[in-house]
């Protein structure tokens, strides 16, 4: 039976970053990256806002705060080093109502605890920066950016393969049994079943991570909540030159329906928050009214006819409706007692931004101290 040192399950942004980093750190290691779909990154990693987050909202000392900040800087450097298109475009968090200005203070304070600097802007300064936005005041984040996430993933894969990683698409993880040497693993491919062994198994299966973990061991598997977010594109020349975010409501599962720009300058609004029971990307066109009501306070001249449903993404959440967001959950044997297994659960936003730092964290988990 063929033996690998590392088997990574899932070629989304995070699995690809892990494959890249492990092959860089252990050039002699035999590494296999498996992916169920024919294309890497075709689930959550291609259904997000493509924003490089600054790290503003996460609780102090959380993994999200730490890995977002660290990952953000690594990601900007990676884009520079490997010519991945990106733009440090900047973001405004706007108070469209004077009664909301105090909430900006709270966000500002939280960001400061995370070592993220934001600048307060008054109404006049906002108007100068974004004439089409209704803002009584705003916070400006200069370290928020946008990235071509497909190009980022393609570059990670190319580098990982150059460093010796064996990438196997159309390969579905079935189950694994613990042995003295690691794990005996069974996968299903287009040509049938295939067995091999690996010292380490890294479960980076995104929305399916709990399912995958249960096929290895039943210990400490969290409950998953599927939280869908719709995006509507705005079929008009961009009225903004920065990313525009409203103030998020307390305990919402998202950051509020915001405006992001892609690298071609096209605006899209979203994502909203809808808890669902089964994986379904088809989306609900009826959400449009909800979008209009959410956008108009900060963009009063919105033309609703130009809002067109675009796509949906689904967040792999560890908490349900009206519960505070959970932190990333990266489990090693310290938690579940199974030497060699690393599970990544709840890798929702800012998973793209944090991907390279998450990979470092995984390497820590497999490096004997
Ligand atoms: C609506 C939305 C907006 C977001 N916006 C942002 C943003 O602006 N900025 C940001 O930083 N983050 C954002 N995120 C978060 C970011 O997109 C995710 O954190 C990141 O894409 C997660 O990557 P992943 O590799 O963990 O998961 P995935 O992309 O889901 O990859 C997991 C892979 O595992 C594969 N897989 C599953 N089961 C198996 C199996 N049994 N065998 C083999 N392969 C398997 C899947 O096919 C999939 O390709 C957003 C997320 C959502 C949903």
How does residue 338 score in pLDDT terms, banded at 50, 70 and 90?
very high
* Domain spans of the chain, in order of start: 3-48+150-223+326-366, 91-142+225-317
Atom of ligand 1 nearest to the CA of 174: 41
Architecture of the domain made up of 3-48+150-223+326-366: 3-Layer(bba) Sandwich (3.50)
How does residue 219 score in pLDDT terms, banded at 50, 70 and 90?
confident
pLDDT for position 250: 67
Q: Residue 247 contacts by C-beta under 8 Å, 6 or more apart in sequence? A: 93, 94, 95, 100, 103, 104, 107, 256
- Cα of 207 vs centre of ligand 1, distance in Å, is 7
Q: Is the CB of 272 under 6 A from ligand 1?
A: no
Q: Work out the average pLDDT over 266-289.
A: 92
Nearest CA owner, ligand 1 atom 4: 48
pLDDT for position 322: 85
Q: Is the CB of 18 under 6 A from ligand 1?
A: no
How does residue 310 score in pLDDT terms, banded at 50, 70 and 90?
very high
Q: Which residues pair with 141 in a beta bridge?
A: 91
Tokens 């390279």 — which residue? 356
pLDDT for position 368: 59
Quick one: CA torsion of 323, 315, 272, 128, rounded to 10 degrees?
100
Atom of ligand 1 nearest to the CA of 14: 25
Q: Which CATH number fits domain 91-142+225-317: 1.10.1020.10, 3.30.9.10, 3.40.50.2300, 3.60.15.10?
A: 3.30.9.10
Instruction: Look over the chain and give the mean of its residue pLDDT values, rounded to a whole number.
Output: 95
pLDDT for position 178: 95
Q: Work out the average pLDDT over 197-210.
A: 98
Atom of ligand 1 nearest to the CA of 354: 11
Atom of ligand 1 nearest to the CA of 271: 1
pLDDT for position 187: 98
Q: Is the CB of 203 under 6 A from ligand 1?
A: no
Pocket test for ligand 1, best of 43, 175, 216 (most atoms within 8 A of CB): 43
Give the strand pairing for 3-9 and 31-34: parallel
- Terminal alpha carbon distance of the chain: 30
pLDDT for position 288: 94
Say if 3-48+150-223+326-366 and 91-142+225-317 have the same CATH topology. no
Q: Work out the average pLDDT over 257-263.
A: 95
How many angstroms from the chain centroid is the CA of residue 278? 20
Q: Work out the average pLDDT over 14-32.
A: 97
Q: Evaluate the omega torsion of the peptide bond into residue 271 and state whether it is cis, within 30 degrees of 0.
A: yes
* pLDDT above 90: percentage of residues in the chain: 91
Q: Is the CB of 48 under 6 A from ligand 1?
A: yes
* Tens digits of residue pLDDT in 119-157: 999 999 999 999 999 999 999 999 999 999 999 999 999
């Amino acid at each position: 039976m063929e033996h690998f040192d590392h088997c990574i399950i899932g070629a989304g942004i995070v699995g690809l970053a892990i494959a890249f980093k492990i092959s860089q750190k252990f050039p002699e290691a035999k590494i296999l990256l498996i992916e169920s779909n024919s294309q890497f990154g075709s689930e959550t990693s291609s259904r997000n806002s493509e924003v490089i987050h600054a790290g503003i909202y996460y609780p102090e000392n959380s993994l999200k705060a730490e890995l977002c900040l660290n990952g953000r800087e690594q990601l900007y450097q990676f884009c520079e080093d490997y010519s991945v298109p990106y733009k440090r475009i900047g973001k405004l968090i706007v108070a469209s109502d004077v009664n909301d200005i105090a909430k900006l203070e709270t966000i500002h304070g939280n960001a400061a605890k995370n070592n993220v600097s934001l600048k307060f802007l008054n109404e006049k300064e906002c108007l100068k920066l974004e004439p089409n936005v209704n803002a009584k005041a705003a916070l400006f984040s200069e370290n928020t950016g946008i990235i071509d996430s497909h190009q980022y993933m393609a570059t990670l894969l190319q580098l990982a393969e150059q460093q010796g990683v064996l990438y196997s698409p159309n390969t579905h993880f079935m189950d694994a049994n613990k042995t003295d040497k690691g794990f005996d693993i069974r996968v299903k491919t287009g040509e049938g079943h295939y067995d091999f062994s690996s010292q380490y198994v890294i479960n980076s299966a995104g929305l399916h991570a709990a399912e995958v973990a249960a096929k290895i061991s039943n210990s400490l598997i969290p409950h998953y909540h599927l939280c869908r977010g719709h995006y509507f594109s705005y079929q008009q020349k961009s009225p903004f030159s920065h990313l525009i975010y409203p103030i998020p409501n307390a305990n919402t599962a998202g950051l509020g329906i915001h405006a992001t720009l892609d690298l071609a300058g096209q605006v899209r609004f979203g994502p909203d928050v809808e808890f669902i029971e089964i994986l379904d990307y088809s989306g609900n066109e009826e959400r449009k009214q909800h979008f209009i009501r959410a956008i108009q306070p900060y963009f009063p001249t919105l033309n609703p006819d130009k809002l067109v449903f675009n796509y949906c993404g689904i967040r792999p959440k560890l908490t349900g409706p009206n519960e505070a967001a959970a932190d990333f959950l990266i489990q090693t044997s310290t938690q579940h007692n199974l030497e060699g297994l690393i599970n990544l659960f709840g890798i929702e936003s800012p998973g793209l931004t944090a991907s390279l730092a998450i990979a470092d964290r995984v390497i820590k988990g497999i490096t004997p101290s």
